[in-house]
Structure 1
Amino acid sequence: MARVRLPKNLGDCEIIITKAGSPAVWNRKSGKNRFLLACRNIEEAEKVLQKIRANDGLEDIWL
């Protein structure tokens, strides 16, 4: 399992398709509050997004 650190000001996250064609979870921010996590497929991206939304203000999640 891998630990992913979340920025303090995460905001709303969504699933996007990168230029390479792989899905990613992104919060549409730049700088130190930017969050971008590349995923293998859409199903994995949806699971990651659910874990992030269910997170109750913790600094990290385990994937």
Structure 2
Amino acid sequence: MPKYQIPKSPGEFEIVESKSGTPLIWNRKNGKGKVSIPCRNWSHAEEVLEKLNDLKKGGELWV
């Protein structure tokens, strides 16, 4: 399982479609605060999005 480091103020997350057609969770930022998490399918992306919304002030997320 990959581990992702989430910054203290990541902003709003959303599920977008990547160029390959798979879902991607992204916070629409570039540079240091960018978070981009690829997912297997749409249901997996929704589960990961719920976990991200539960994190209050950053931390680590195991997907």
How many Å apart are 1:2 and its aligned residue? 3.1
| Other-structure match for 2:59 | 59
Q: Which runs of 5+ in 1 are unaligned?
A: none
Distance 2:52 2:28 in 1: 15
Higher relative contact order (CA 8 A, sep 6+): 2
Farther off after superposition, 4-13 or 43-52: 4-13
Distance 2:44 2:21 in 1: 14
How much identity, in percent, do the aligned residues show?
38
4+ residue segments displaced more than 2 Å: none
Farther off after superposition, 51-60 or 12-21: 51-60
Query: Aligned pair in 2 of structure 1 residues 57, 34: CA closer, same or farther (>3 Å)?
Result: same
Equivalenced residue count is: 63
Question: RMSD of the alignment, in Å?
Answer: 1.2
- TM-score calculated relative to the size of structure 1: 0.89
